[in-house]
Structure 1
Amino acid sequence: MKNKSTLFLVQAALIGAIYVVLTLVFAPFSYGEVQVRISEALTILPYFTPAAIPGLFVGCIIANILGGCIPVDIIFGSIATLLGAVFTYKLRNSSRFLAPLPPIISNTVIVPFVLHYGYGINLPIPLMMLTVGAGEIVSCGIFGLILHSALSKFRGSIFSGSKTAAR
């Protein structure tokens, strides 16, 4: 049992760290009313492991803090990623094409309100829903499904902790 909890913790930490690095490396595209947060492709990972849920949530919090976001964005932007991760995990036994929908929907609904009321961006919320939603479709729907295809080959080894994962 201790081995599984260690594996869970390591997976969550690695996923969170990768999320932070991708967000900050691609910072010009990661923040604002028109954003394609490349790190959101990782929201496909709860389809493979529940460790991705806390990893993505904490990674998003850290990326938002280091990115200079305001407290309301740190909280609600991270909650949007958390909701997306939880519901992606719940869809793990369904079609892989459904897996990107929860983060796309949660960010499309929540982030425009943060931009409008938190940052005072004076654009109509429905317009920002379109721009944020389009960015989420690119990052989660396209990049996330590419990542899913690549990881599907290793589903039984990388995320289960079997010895074949180390080979």
Structure 2
Amino acid sequence: MKNKKILWLTTSAMIAAVYLVLTMIFYAISFTPMQSRLAEALTVLPYFTPVAIPGLFIGCILANIIGGYGIWDVVIGSLTSLLAAYLTYRLTFNKPRRKWLAPLPPVLLNAVIVGAELNLLSGSPTWEAFLGIMLSVGIGQIIACYVIGFPLMLLFERSKKISELFKRIS
């Protein structure tokens, strides 16, 4: 039991660290209204294990503290990631036929919620600006989650060692 808790905590911390590092490496495209946060490719991990949920949440909090739009982004952006990770888990965990849905919650929630947040923080909160920012965040999320994250998920699914790790900690 104790070893499983250590494995759970370590895996969650590693996911948080990878999310943070990827966000910082691609800083130039991670924190703009036309953002594509490539670390969001990791949001498919709740398909494999609920341990990814706190890891993604903490990674997002840390990334938003370091480079985000202040306290609003730390709170709203991070809670959006938490909700998206939870919904990914609930929709797809142990449901192989639904794996194509794994990237959907992060795409939709970030497009709408983070799009609204960035629109308000931009200083021109018009309906047209909101739609433009929502569309740009949504496209960035599609790139991160479906173009990069979904193939990553399929790769992890085929890897016996990674599949065994996910089964052991779930």
TM-score higher than 0.5: yes
Match 2:166 to one of 117, 141, 159: 159
Instruction: Map 1:108-147 to 2 at 5 A.
Output: 108-121=111-124, 124-147=129-152
Report deviation, 1:63. Answer: 0.5
Number of the residue aligned with 2:109: 106
Task: State the 4+ residue runs in structure 1 displaced beyond 4 angstroms.
Answer: none
Distance 1:69 1:24 in 2: 14
Report deviation, 1:119. Answer: 3.7
TM-score of the two chains, using structure 2 as the length reference: 0.89
The count of aligned residue pairs is 162
Report deviation, 1:68. Answer: 4.5
Report deviation, 1:121. Answer: 4.9
Larger proportion of helix: 2
TM-score of the two chains, using structure 1 as the length reference: 0.91
Task: Please provide the CA RMSD for this pair.
Answer: 1.6
Percent of aligned pairs with the same residue?
Answer: 44
Instruction: Report whether the alignment pairs 1:95 with 2:98.
Output: yes
Structure 2: tracts of 5 or more residues without a match: none
Residues 67-110 of structure 1: CA deviation (Å, up to 9, x unaligned): 15310011101111111100110122142111100000110111
Aligned 8 A contact 1:73 1:118 in 2? no
Structure 1: tracts of 5 or more residues without a match: 163-167
Aligned 8 A contact 1:20 1:62 in 2? yes
The one-letter amino acid paired with 2:167 is: S
